[in-house]
Amino acid sequence: MDFWERLISVQPAPPQWVVLVTALVALIVVLANGPWLLARNVVTIVHEAGHGLIAVLVGRRLSGIRLHSDTSGVTTSRGKPTGLGMILTVLAGYIAPSLLGLGLAALLGAGMITLLLWVCTALLLLVLIMIRNVYGALLLLVTGGALVAISVLADSAVQAGFAYLVTWFLLIGGVRPVPELQRKRRRGRARDSDADQLARLTGLPGILWVTVFGLVALGALALGGSWLLAEVLDGWSLRP
């Protein structure tokens, strides 16, 4: 019972500087090519999890997920190759990190830091069950192990900082893959990208779907960021 009470308990908001510093760190990680190449694995995990989740929800049979060392990934499912279910399955990937970040921002706004950490851990466990390659399994085990360690062993201040960092990273990191995708498409290196698959499924141009990905990512960043910064901005407005 203690675990469940702790899970749904409301934690006090961290100092304002924590919110700002974690936002800055996340921004640097996303913009700097070196850190991004490593951290992008997290975005890929969520991207493929988005495909997998929607595939199951629309009645497709999820075959498996593969994560590769070049930060790419593949999710395969069985079912009707056309129609709304397939469209939603393909659409889910690029918007999944941003929407998850938005959901985590809502949890942080409600003060549910512990619940946020365990939600992320549960999502990683569900993805691990469907992983079909060694690298992907190792990546999930390392990432999940870090989350469990912080959730169980770290004090509340560390948990809060980590939760804000993950949330900011998903919100900001959900934006960068969109222009990267379009650059690859322009060079003819992404003929089977999600945008091009959606173009074939719907008859609408791929650039339209890239635009949809971008609008969702930017919208989630704006809304989620406003939630995360609400107390900071309120604090500044109360200053004489």
Distance separating alpha carbons of residues 119 and 117, to the nearest angstrom: 5
Distance of CA 53 to the CA centre of its chain: 13
The candidate with the shortest Cα–Cα distance to 45, out of 78, 102, 93, is: 93
pLDDT in tens, 120-140: 999 999 999 999 999 999 999
The answer to whether residue 4 scores a pLDDT higher than 70 is no
One-letter amino acid for residue 207 of the chain: I
**Interstrand relation of 73-78 and 61-67 (parallel, antiparallel or unpaired):** antiparallel
Q: What is the pLDDT of residue 5?
A: 67
The candidate with the shortest Cα–Cα distance to 220, out of 114, 94, 111, 124, is: 94
For residue 116, the SS3 value is helix
Contact (Cβ atoms closer than 8 angstroms) between residue 224 and residue 101: yes
pLDDT in tens, 84-124: 999 999 999 999 999 999 999 999 998 888 889 989 999 99
What is the mean predicted confidence (pLDDT) over 142-151?
A: 92
Counting residues of the chain whose pLDDT is more than 70, the rounded percentage is 92
Provide the β-strand partners of residue 131: 65
Distance separating alpha carbons of residues 123 and 50, to the nearest angstrom: 10
The candidate with the shortest Cα–Cα distance to 104, out of 152, 169, 48, 30, is: 169
DSSP strands (E only) in 33-191: 61-67, 73-78
- Residues 6 or more apart from 113 whose CB is under 8 A from it? 11, 107, 156, 159, 160, 163
The answer to whether residue 78 scores a pLDDT higher than 80 is yes
Q: Among positive and negative, which fits the CA dihedral 91, 113, 36, 135?
A: negative
**Model-level pTM?**
0.93
Would you state the structure tokens that stand for residue 87, as one six-digit string? 């469209």
The candidate with the shortest Cα–Cα distance to 60, out of 68, 52, 49, is: 52
Taking the CA of residue 64 as centre, how many other CA atoms within 13 Å lie in the half-sphere pointing to its CB?
8
Distance separating alpha carbons of residues 75 and 204, to the nearest angstrom: 23
- DSSP element (H, E) containing 144: helix 134-153
